[in-house]
Amino acid sequence: MTTITNESVLIARLAGIIRRVAKLKPEIPIRSETRLVDDLGIDSLDLVAIILQIHEDFDIVIDEDAVQHLRIVGDLAAQVAERSPQATEVNLVPEQKRAAG
């Protein structure tokens, strides 16, 4: 049985946001190590839109200085986790909470 960690749940949520905002097709893989620009073709407008969506979904604010250093999806996850340590739990839907154990 696969154990789903809180980190992987967070990555999955961020992948959903990135996919929805940047209009990426479902078959494009998005993992922690996926590069935002080189692998996903995210441009500067996409990144701003993704950050705004994260602000809404997680009720946090990532400041502009931090945005400049985002390179991979994991960097984004680190920013979210730093500002909302409970983000992976308190915002989970019940099914995800059970799956995350």
Partner 1 sequence: MADRIFVVGHSAVTCLGRDMDSTWQGLINCRSGIRRQPALGAEMYLQDLAGFVENFGPGSMREDRDIAKLPARFLHLAMEAARSAWSDAGLDRHEDSIDRDRAALVVGSAFGGLDLLAAEEARAARRRNLAVSPYLVPGMIINQAAGQIAQHMRLFGPSAAPANACASGGHAVVLGAMFLRAGDADLALCGAGESAFTPSVVNGFATMKALLGRKAGDRSDHDPGQASRPFSKDRAGFVLAEGAGALVLATEAAVHRLGLEPQAELLGWSTNSDGHHMAMPCRDRIVRCLETAMRNAGVAAGDIDYYNAHGTSTVVNDHAETLIIKDVFREKARRLPISSIKGALGHSLGAASAIEAAVSVRALREQLIPPTLNYLPDPELDLDYVPDKPRAARLDTILTAAFGFGGTNNCLVLGRTPS
Q: Which residues bind partner 1 (CB under 8 A)?
A: 21-25, 45-46, 48-49, 52, 55-56, 61
Q: How far is the CB of 87 from partner 1 (least distance, A)?
A: 17
Q: How far is the CB of 60 from partner 1 (least distance, A)?
A: 10
**C-beta of 52 vs 98, nearer to partner 1:** 52
Q: How far is the CB of 52 from partner 1 (least distance, A)?
A: 6
Question: In terms of Cα–Cα distance, which of 50, 15, 6 is closest to 33?
Answer: 15
Residues 44 and 77: their CA atoms lie apart, in Å, by 18
**C-beta of 9 vs 17, nearer to partner 1:** 17
CB atoms within 10 A of CB 40: 20
Q: Outline where DSSP puts E strands in the chain.
A: none
**C-beta of 40 vs 77, nearer to partner 1:** 40
Contact 21, 42 (CB under 8 A): no
